[in-house]
Amino acid sequence: MLNDFDLALRLSATLKLSNASQVSLAYGTGISFVDSTPLRVCHNKRIPNHKVFEGIAQRGKSTMWYFYGFKLQLVVNYRGEIQSIVITPGNVDDRKPLRDEHYLQKVFGKLFADKGVHWAKAF
């Protein structure tokens, strides 16, 4: 099983990291789900000494606690096929990628999210 750091390295090898890296994969089916998860690159005690993602990774807050790294946001259809991936610095709000038309271009029908996404404020 990959830890968060190994996953971040492999994703960064395939996706060019900028403020937000986006990839669209499968087509929508009418029912989609969106959620995000932190990709921690180091322990909070080691942030001042961290050099690998210096200037790219940021401090963020998840439901569990604070972290240093990135946020991985996925949109999947009801079959579990990935429709879109966005990797943002840790300090980016979860609703910000939802405002980007390219992120949701293959999504139609119903989009379900967790309680943290307030739809009135998302768009």
Instruction: Provide the pLDDT for residue 16.
Output: 44
Identify whether 121 is part of a domain: no
The mean pLDDT value of the chain amounts to 75
Q: Per-residue pLDDT for 110 more than 60?
A: yes
- The residues pairing with 73 across neighbouring beta strands, listed in sequence order, are 36, 86
Instruction: Provide the pLDDT for residue 12.
Output: 52
Instruction: Provide the pLDDT for residue 52.
Output: 81
Identify whether 45 is part of a domain: yes
Identify whether 122 is part of a domain: no
Report how far residue 92's alpha carbon sits from residue 58's, in angstroms, rounded to the nearest whole number.
9
Identify whether 119 is part of a domain: no
Percentage of the chain lying above the pLDDT 70 cut: 71
pLDDT tens-digit map of 18-52: 444 455 566 667 888 888 888 888 887 887 888 88
Gyration radius (Cα) of the chain, Å: 15
- Of 12, 16, 60, nearest to 38 by C-alpha is 60
Cα dihedral 1, 18, 57, 62 in deg (nearest 10): -70
Identify whether 108 is part of a domain: yes
pLDDT tens-digit map of 83-104: 888 888 988 888 888 887 777 7
Instruction: Provide the pLDDT for residue 26.
Output: 62
Is 0.75 topped by the overall pTM?
Answer: no
- Of 81, 101, 72, 74, nearest to 30 by C-alpha is 81
- Of 23, 38, 6, 119, nearest to 75 by C-alpha is 23
Identify whether 120 is part of a domain: no
Structural domain span for residue 48: 4-113
Identify whether 123 is part of a domain: no
- The tally of domains found in the chain comes to 1
Q: Per-residue pLDDT for 17 more than 50?
A: no
Identify whether 54 is part of a domain: yes
